[in-house]
Each structure stands twice: as C-alpha cells, then as structure tokens.
C-alpha cells in the first residue's frame, strides 16, 4: 500500500497555493465537541486539494489524563505487531485500542491506526526529565523504521490526520465524538513535500502541536540546529521542525511564548535599532542566541500545548491570519469568514501585525489590543516585543 493517495483533481502532489488554519481555545476550560472546528475548517475547503488535513484536540482523554496517549500509524499488521513489541519494551501500557473511525468515500489507503495509553519505564540518564526521555523514545522509534511511527505523544490530547479534505478526515476519525477545550485544524495544499498520511498536519511531539501555512526557506538551517540538539526530522516536511523548535525553546529553555515569537519571527535589525533600550537588549540577545531558528519565508502557524495556544505570522505578513474573541473564547484563523461562521456574535476581530504573537492561556480571559477596543488603527507605540 502507498502512504500517499487521494482524489486530487489536479493530478499533481505539488500545487502552489495556500493552506487553511483554524483554532479556538476556551480559556475557561469548558469542553466543546468537534462540530465547530469542522465547520470552521470546512468553510476553507478551497484552500486545500484533498492531499491532507487534520485536527488536534486537548482535554479529550480525561480517563487517561496522566498517561501519554501514543497515536501510531502502520503500513501493515506485521509492522503494527513489531512496533507494539518495541513499545512494550520501554513502556507500561495501561490500555490500547484501534483509533475509532468510519469508512468514508474518498479517504483511500488508510494505514492501520492504533492508540496506546502508557507511561515510560526503565532507568533514565541522570538529569534527564521524563519528557526528555519520552522525546528520545519517540525519536528512536520514528528513525528506526519507515513502516510505522508515532505521530502523537502527549497527555490528554491527540492528533487526528490523514489524506483527504477536512470534512472527510473529520468524518473518518469521528471528530464530532470528542470534547476538548482547545482545538486546531489544518487544510493542506502541499508545496515542496508529498501528500501522505504522516505528512498531513498537525505535527506533534509530547503535547506540542503545530499547523502551518506557508513555506520555510530556512528549513535546512533550522533542521541542522534542531538535530544538533538531539531532534530527528523524519516526516518529509518543513513544518515538523517548528514543533521540535517549540519544544526546545519553550519547554527545555523555558522561554515565554512571546519571547519564542521573537525567535521565530524576529524584528529586522533596523527595526530593533528604534526600540526602547530594554527591548533592544532582549531582541539582540534572542537573535544572537537563536539565529539558526529564525523562520525565513512566508508563514503563519498555530502552536498549541496543554493550556496554551500561540498564533504567529511572519514579520512582513505574507500569509493571512485573523483573530477573534467572544468572552472566554479565542479564535485564530486563516480567514475571518470562518470565525464569523462559527461564532456569529463575535465581539472583537482584528488582523495582527506581522510577527505579533497571539497568546491564549487557560484561566486568562483573552483581551484584544487597545486599538481594537477603541476601534481605531494601531499606534506604533503600542507595538511591543517580548
């Protein structure tokens, strides 16, 4: 069987156009089923071509909330058995089952999909955290073989992705049956990488997930930097490196999301020269320390983890990003129309400046920028870094 298969009407797996992003977070922690995320994503169906779409959801496994939920894809039953044997050597598995799905017209050549709720076991190196131990386990498995891999590995969350349109993949995975406080979604128009089940978005590691619209021309430099820090890129796409970079700078190096945004979409040097002394010091330190992680090229991303969602676009805003707020709900989308469809009585909407981080956190009701509350243009003095 082939990993890559689709009803693609263009007859090509390299079509230069656009991807669609949508995400929302209820900062009160209230759970929502997948209906809204599917409607929001499906209204941007023309931004994809059936070569991939997917969803990430947080808070969906309350009965196994303290266990890592390992979602795996396998080419064959023999590959699944081999992978399971490998997992049982390093993990204590409390429960495992096929990932529930429905047969859907147009979703072709699906791999074998299974999930394992488990905890890692065995001795760790001195000073190695449990999370770092899990990262090593996942990286080892995903680099050992090309017929099976772990594509989701966080606690109380999961990724559901494949080759198809958003409505098809949602129906296939029965997304409407899950309830989460944070959802992200993606509709793919592949550019420089093939359309295949593992190459669909979101990409994840631990509880990090990333959906991405654009093209990272600095991928080679970014990848080499991440590999120097122990990460292995195996998914044939530039987006994968962003998920690993988020883990490095925000989990391991403990940078805040807003400072991490300076790593990925730093101001230009001539812009830095006009900032306040404190902001200049911060921006220069970030550029000098994390220069190889600067993302060149057009992009917007939604990066999520447990309790947090970050929306970010490139410094000169070459890809679209719209934001909306309704009470405790924060919405991020490639198109404003999707936000209005899902939330007709939205209170605030705006387009962020290039490189401006949009951050949502559990327990913190989202607030629009001052110029949005005033319904006036943004003032240069209101832009901040860090």
- Which residues have C-beta within 8 Å of that of residue 37, sequence separation ≥ 6? 22, 23, 24, 55, 57, 175, 183, 184, 185
Q: Chain-centre distance of CA 45, in angstroms?
A: 19
CB 265 within 8 A of CB 312: yes
Q: Give the residues across from 313 on adjacent strands.
A: 300
Residues in the chain: 386
Which residue shows structure tokens 């795996």? 72
Please identify which of the residues 19, 74, 233, 283 carries the catalytic annotation: 19
Tell which residue, 383, 348, 355, 326, has the closest CA to residue 26. Answer: 326
- Which residues have C-beta within 8 Å of that of residue 76, sequence separation ≥ 6? 1, 112, 147
Q: Give the residues across from 332 on adjacent strands.
A: 23, 323
C-alpha span between 238 and 344 (Å, rounded): 35
C-alpha span between 122 and 130 (Å, rounded): 11
Phi, psi at 366, each rounded to 5°: -65, 145
Q: Tell me whether residue 283 is one of the annotated catalytic residues.
A: no
Pairing of β 322-326 and β 299-305: unpaired
Catalytic residues, by residue number, are 19
């Amino acid at each position: 069987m082939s990993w890559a298969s689709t009803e693609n009407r263009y007859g090509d797996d390299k079509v230069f156009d656009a991807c669609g992003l949508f995400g929302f977070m209820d900062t009160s922690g209230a759970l929502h089923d997948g209906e809204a995320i599917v409607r929001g994503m499906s209204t941007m169906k023309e931004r994809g071509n059936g070569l991939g779409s997917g969803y990430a959801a947080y808070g969906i496994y309350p009965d196994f909330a303290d266990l890592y939920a390992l979602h795996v894809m396998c080419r064959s039953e023999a590959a699944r058995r081999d992978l399971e044997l490998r997992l049982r050597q390093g993990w204590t598995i409390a429960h495992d089952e096929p990932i529930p799905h429905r047969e859907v017209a147009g979703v072709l050549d699906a791999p074998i999909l299974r999930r394992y709720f488990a905890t890692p076991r065995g001795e760790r190196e001195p000073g190695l955290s449990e999370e770092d131990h899990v990262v090593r386990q996942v990286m080892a498995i995903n680099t050992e073989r090309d017929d099976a891999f772990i594509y989701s590995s966080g606690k109380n969350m999961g990724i559901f992705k494949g080759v198809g349109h958003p409505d098809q993949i949602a129906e296939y995975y029965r997304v409407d049956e899950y309830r989460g406080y944070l959802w992200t979604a993606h509709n793919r128009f592949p550019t420089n990488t093939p359309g295949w089940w593992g190459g669909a978005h979101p990409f994840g590691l631990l509880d990090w997930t990333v959906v991405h619209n654009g093209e990272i021309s600095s991928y080679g430099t970014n990848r080499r930097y991440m590999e120097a820090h122990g990460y292995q890129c195996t998914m044939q796409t530039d987006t994968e490196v962003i998920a690993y970079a988020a883990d490095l700078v925000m989990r391991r190096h403990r940078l805040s999301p807003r400072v991490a945004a300076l790593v990925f979409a730093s101001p230009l040097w001539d812009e830095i020269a006009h900032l306040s002394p404190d902001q200049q010091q911060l921006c220069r330190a970030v550029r000098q320390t994390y220069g190889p992680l600067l993302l060149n090229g057009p992009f917007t991303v939604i990066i999520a983890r447990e309790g947090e969602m970050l929306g970010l676009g490139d410094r000169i805003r070459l890809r679209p990003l719209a934001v909306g707020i309704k009470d405790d709900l924060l919405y991020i989308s490639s198109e404003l129309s999707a936000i209005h469809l899902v939330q007709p009585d939205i209170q605030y909407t705006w387009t962020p400046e290039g490189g401006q981080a949009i951050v949502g956190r559990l327990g913190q009701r989202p607030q629009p920028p001052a110029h949005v509350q005033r319904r006036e243009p943004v003032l240069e003095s209101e832009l901040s870094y860090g």
